[in-house]
Each structure stands twice: as structure tokens, then as C-alpha cells.
Structure 1
Amino acid sequence: MDVSRVNVKRAPCALCTTKNKRCPKKCDFAPYFPAERKGEYENAHKLFGTSNIIKMMRFASKDKQRDMLASSILMEGDAWKKDPARGGFGMIQKLKWQIELRKIYLNELKEKIKVEKEKTELRL
């Protein structure tokens, strides 16, 4: 059986689904916005709009750039869904705050280790 002749059906990509159009077999956007990521795409669609997403994707020239851009678009859409007031900036601020707290905790642990080492050295 020739594998190239087997018709494999795939769900239309999230972008084509949102535009209510038929997704061609060689859809430019299917690799970046597959049907499995429809929820994420809908968040991005609400934030940017499909026409702007298409413009941004066409502006990226290389596949790697498009891949990173699509990932960024989807992440930004999710960020705004989770935090409508601050979006991605809010997520970054939260992560920075967590890093600072961990640094403080690490410094406290280092200080405790130092004190314990000094106690141990005095006993010897």
C-alpha cells in the first residue's frame, strides 16, 4: 500500500476555524495554530484579532521566527486571559517577585549554614 495515497484527515487549524473558512491541506498556519490549541488561539484572537495575527505571521520570514512568534502570540493571549489588567507584564512581575523571595530565602539558608559551620569548627 502506497503511504502517499492514504488520505489522512486532520482537523482544521484554529485560525481557519475562527475565520469560518475551509482549511486547505497546505494551510500556512496549521503548523503554528493546530486544532488542539484552539482555546489558546481564541484568547489570542480576542487580544490581537485574526487579521493582525495573519499580518504578524506573514511579516516573519523564517519558519523558526514564525514558530517563536506563534508561541509568543498564544502565550500573550493566555496571559491576558489570566490577568486582564496586566497581562504578560503581570506574569513577569509575579515571577520577579518570586525570584526575589527565593533569593532572600537562599541567603537566609546560607547564613544558617555559615553559623552551623562556625559552631562545628569551634567544637573541634
Structure 2
Amino acid sequence: MADISIPCGACKHLKRKCTNRCIFAPYFGKKQNEASFAAVHKVFGAGNVSKHLSTIPTNHHKKAMETITYEAQARISDPINGCVSTICALKKQVKALQAEVSMMKAQQQMNNGFAYVNALQTTDLQHQQMLQQPNFNVSVEPAYANNPSPSIEDLMNMNNFNPVLAATNNLMNMNNFNPGFDTTKETASSSQSFQPFQNSRFSYHQGDN
């Protein structure tokens, strides 16, 4: 195979000729990414990265080189924590967002509870107002509504009522009472029945004289 005239970023940093079999050429280009490969070479070493790529499938090489490059740059930026500091910061951010979401859910549930209670109170208040409000459509009749109202003549008779006159009228009605038989005849027969007794008594007194 012919040598490549323009080396990739990895071969340029390593100051070697770049061939068609260069494992770093597809990921670091020919004129760029030299600084990225410098970080990878400084942290992991070009030989170690090449061996690592040979152990994984070819279709995963691109993803592996992206993560290796990111880890190398993070380690250079933070020699103590490396990419772990970024991971911890993201975890804290996730926890803060989760706490905020939980607080918002609790607040929403509380608002829903208040809204439900307010709705119940409003319904109860409206029901009480309906019960307390007088119903003008219901006709209320007095106790004497079923009795006929007295006429003017009855009222005048009630005002002119005389107990003495009423008693006299009652006696007159009793005198005019006819039980169904002739009281004249009965009276006559009764007087005749008493007459012999009276005559005999009178005769007795005359005999004594």
C-alpha cells in the first residue's frame, strides 16, 4: 500500500508516516484533532488505545474513541477527579431537579385538595342558602281556609245576639212541640179520673158535718 502524503492528527503528533492501515486516521482526521489525540496519548498512551480498539467490534470503534477522547480531556482539565467531577455535578443537578419536580407535584396535589375542599364548601353553602331562602311559590293557607267564610248576615246575627231572647225562643219552641199524640184528650181523661176521688172526699166531709 502506498503511504499517505498528508498524515492524520495522530501520526502528525507522533511524527510518523500515516498509512492506509492507521487505526487513528478515521477518527482524528488529517489536518485537525491533533490536540485531541495529544490528550489521549498523554492520558492513555497511543499503544494502549490501539490495543483497546482491537478488542472491540469495528462498528463500535467510533463510539469508543469519542468516550476515550472525552475522558482524556476531562482528566487533563481536572487531574484529580477527571470526568467524575462532571458526573457528580450532573447527579446533583438531577437530584435538584427531581426534588423540584416532587415539590411541584406536592404543591399541585395540595392545590387540587384546596380546590376540592373549596368546591365542597361552596356547594354546602349554596345548599344552606337554598334551605334558608323562603319559597314564595308555596301557598300557605290558614287553618280556616277549608271552612266557608261567614256571610254578612251571619256576622250581623252574631253581633246582635241576645241570650234572653234566645232563651225565650227556646221555651216557645218547647211549648209548640208535638210528640205525636193529642195532649188535649189525655188531659181531659186525666181530669175525669181524678174527679171521683175528689167527689168522694167531699162527700165524706159532708157526712161528718
The TM-score range, normalised by the shorter chain, is 0.7 to 0.9
Maintained 8 Å contact 2:23/2:50:
no
Cα distance in 2, alignment partners of residues 13 and 58 from structure 1: 19
Gaps of 5+ in 1: 1-8
Maintained 8 Å contact 1:43/1:74:
yes
Q: Please name the residue that 2:204 is paired with.
A: none
Aligned pairs for 1:31-110 within 5 A: 31-34=26-29, 35-60=31-56, 62-110=57-105
Q: Could you say which structure has the greater relative contact order, defined with CA pairs below 8 angstroms and 6 or more residues apart?
A: 1
Shift of 1:109: 1.0
Maintained 8 Å contact 1:33/1:70:
no
Q: Which amino acid aligns with 2:25?
A: A
Max Rg structure: 2
Aligned pairs for 1:109-124 within 5 A: 109-124=104-119
Q: Which amino acid aligns with 1:99?
A: V
Maintained 8 Å contact 1:12/1:23:
yes
Identity %: 23
Cα distance in 1, alignment partners of residues 9 and 73 from structure 2: 15
- Per the normalisation by structure 1, the TM-score is 0.77
Post-superposition Cα deviations, 1:37-70, rounded to whole Å, max 9, x if no partner, equal 332222111101222222222233x222222221
Maintained 8 Å contact 1:15/1:29:
yes
Q: Which amino acid aligns with 2:100?
A: Y
- Per the normalisation by structure 2, the TM-score is 0.49
Cα distance in 2, alignment partners of residues 42 and 96 from structure 1: 29
For this pair of structures, how many residues does the alignment match? 115
Q: 1:36 to 1:121 in 2, by over 3 A?
A: farther
Gaps of 5+ in 2: 120-209
